[in-house]
Structure 1
Amino acid sequence: MGLFITSMVVSVGLETVSTQINRVLNPTPPGAAASLTPAGEIWLEQRSGDTRYVLMALGMQPGGAVLNGVTVFNIGAESQKRITADQADLMDGKWVLVNAVGDSPDRPPERLSNYTLPTTSTPAEISLKLSSTEDMTIFEPD
C-alpha cells in the first residue's frame, strides 16, 4: 500500500511540479512541441461554408481566443489575397481583425476597418488544437 501511495504522489504531484518548472525554465510556445511549424508560429486552417483561409499568428493569449501578429492567406476567389493584423479576436463564430491591412497583387494595400472572417471554430477547439500533453498537468481544467 505504501508503494502505491508513493507512486501516486510521484506520478501526479512531482510530474505537475516538474511541468510547471519546465514552463519557466524553457518556455515552449503552445502546441510547438507537437507541431512541424517553425518555432513561435501558429498555423490554423479555418473555414465556414465556402470561405476558406489559413491563419498564421506569432503568438496567442491563454485560451486561444486572441491571436497576435496575424497574417491571413485566403484560399479561393477572395478580393484580398493576404490580410495582416495586429490581433485577431475569436467571438461569436468569427475572427475580428484589429488594425487590418489587405494586400492584393493588382492594387495598393488597403486599410480594413472592422474586418471579420467567419469560422466554425470555438475558443475551446482552438485551445485544444494548440495544446499538447506536454503543455498541461492533471490539475488544469483546460
Structure 2
Amino acid sequence: MNFLPPDDCPCGQRDARGRAMAYAQCCGRYLDHDTPAPDAERLMRSRYSAFVLGRVEYLEASWHTRTRPAGLTLEPGQKWLGLEVKRHREVDADHAEVEFVARSRVGGRGVRLHETSRFLREGGRWYYVDGDMH
C-alpha cells in the first residue's frame, strides 16, 4: 500500500536551523527519482521513509542482492512513529554502519526497533546488507 508523501519528511531530518526538512528535499529525491543516496545514513533514512510510505519496491531495490529476501511484506496496520539516528560510522570508502532506533505501533502495541545496520557501496550506490538488533 502506497501513501501520499507528507510535507515533512518521515525520517525526521532537520536542517541547519532545526526545522523539519520537506520530503521533496530530503528522502523524496531518493524514493521518487533514481538519485542514489550519497551515504549510508541517508540511505537508511530513505529506507525508513519507504517503510512509512509503504514503498516495498524501494526497500527491495536498496537491499543488497546477497541478503535481500525473496519477497518483502510489510506489517499490515503498522504505524511508524519516529526515527532517531544514534550513530553513523564509515568503516572504509565502501562500508558503513548506522545505529538507529525506529518506533512504531502495531495492533495498539508500541514497538521499538534498535539496530546497527551494515551498508555496502557497490557501483556508486549504497545498499543495506544486514543488521544486529540491540
Same fold (TM over 0.5): no
The structure having more radius of gyration, on CA atoms, is: 1
Q: Tell me the TM-score normalized by structure 2.
A: 0.28
Q: Tell me the TM-score normalized by structure 1.
A: 0.27
- Which is richer in helix? 1
